[in-house]
Amino acid sequence: MSLGQFTSRGAAAAFKMSRMFKGLGWAIGINSFLCSIYYNIIIAWILFYFFTSFRSKLQWSDCGNWWNTERCANPETLNYSNSTIFCNSIHYQINCTIPTLPPEEYFDNYVLHRSDSLDNLDLPSARFGIKFYLKPNWNKIRQFDVFADIAIFSVLGYMSFKTGLPIEQVAKAGPGLAFVAYPQALSIMPGGPFWAVIFFFMLLTLGLDTQFGLADVVIAGLLDTFKQLRQHKLFVSISYCIFCYLLALPICAPILMNEYAVNLSLIICGFLEFVVIDYIYGFNNFMEDIRMMLGKRPLEPYWFFTWCISDPIITLVLVFSSIIRFQPPTEGNYEYSAYANMLGWLMVCSSLIFIPCIMVYEFIKAWKVTNSLQYKVIEHMPHYLRMLTYARKPDTEWGPAKNENRYGRYKPKIEQSTSINQSNINDSDNNSTLKFKNMFRTRL
């Protein structure tokens, strides 16, 4: 945030702080673009649930509707002793037909039309869900994605008690928590429709706020790169929103995009941001930029520890952990085909590919510049080191976007050259005057 505030530019232009890492800004922009596409689907689901909540009885509160199957079971009619209805043996792990709750079938069969291929801590046995949430499972701690919300797991404990199934089988990753677990909790609360409206309105505001930020990253990058479009900003913004909307229409698997497009690539970009800002550009230089905005370098020891030590280590561990633990995403029992996973990896590469490509391009430019006669050569420095030194330095356009904010080391070179030219003109005028006087004296 401080980087964008200082440069008054989007990500595509902000990372001109290092010539060789200009592609990092484009990678962030592509990630935001892909996320904007599938986020339209998530917001559409939220809008659907929001408007269907304006009823005296929530549609997902019980079975018996046309979208329900024989596996549908109301939690009120189930108990642990009756769990043999769904299992053919004493142990649920063997030959067990897992029952589904009304919100799950509503989401799968009514909202998505899939084919066959809170305040709830006082619910019965909610403590088992909370215990499952709070009790450490040291084998899971290494996975970094086990942290969720206590309210959700209280509902899962209640659902586990009613169905007689373990929480591991009741809980589902992905949209299941937001569109299954919470709706189930809302359906059994007094005044459920009212709380459903409030809950999905909250999700709607969060989703729109996130979507605005994602869209702004891409739009700002386009305007910073193609400056002739700035006078048509409104048209560019509307066109981009319509374009993302049209791309989102045929998408039926936003979970696939979430797992690939903005998961591993986003973590890699985050790690490279720490490297570029703190080690390539320099932590001290960036703190001086903050001093230009605030007049001081606030909480410098804290930022040094987090930006230069702890956060880079954490993100690097997350990168390797994500690669080592990676498994193809699934939705329930459905496994994506090989071509779908290949498409996912193409989405990962579509953003990260900008980093090495632009880096190679900048290396070629730097090699030519440092090999020219106009470049000031440092004594006894090999050519490849001159090239690397030039490529890691900021671009000539780096700094505050507005000229009135450019002073000190960011003073516009145009003004500097103008002042130099003006002094040269003055010197030339003085020399001409002196020469004319000497000629006049000689003639006399």
8 A C-beta contact, residue 132 and residue 156:
yes
Between CA 72 and CA 187 the distance in angstroms is 15
Between CA 401 and CA 394 the distance in angstroms is 14
| Residue 109 neighbours by CB under 8 Å, 6+ apart | 67, 68, 69
Indicate the angle between helix axes 265-274 and 338-352, nearest 10 degrees.
Answer: 20
> Residue 274 burial (CB < 10 Å; 0-12/13-18/19+)?
buried
Flag whether 427 is marked binding. no
Q: 167 has which bridge partners?
A: none
Flag whether 434 is marked binding. no
8 A C-beta contact, residue 19 and residue 396:
no
Indicate the angle between helix axes 338-352 and 22-52, nearest 10 degrees.
Answer: 130
Between CA 215 and CA 303 the distance in angstroms is 28
Which residue in this structure is represented by tokens 């990058």?
221
Give CA separation, 211 vs 13, 34, 42, 245, 399, in Å. Answer: 21, 11, 10, 12, 27
Q: Summarize the annotated binding site as residue ranges.
A: 206, 209
Q: Summarize the annotated binding site for Na(+) as residue ranges.
A: 206, 209
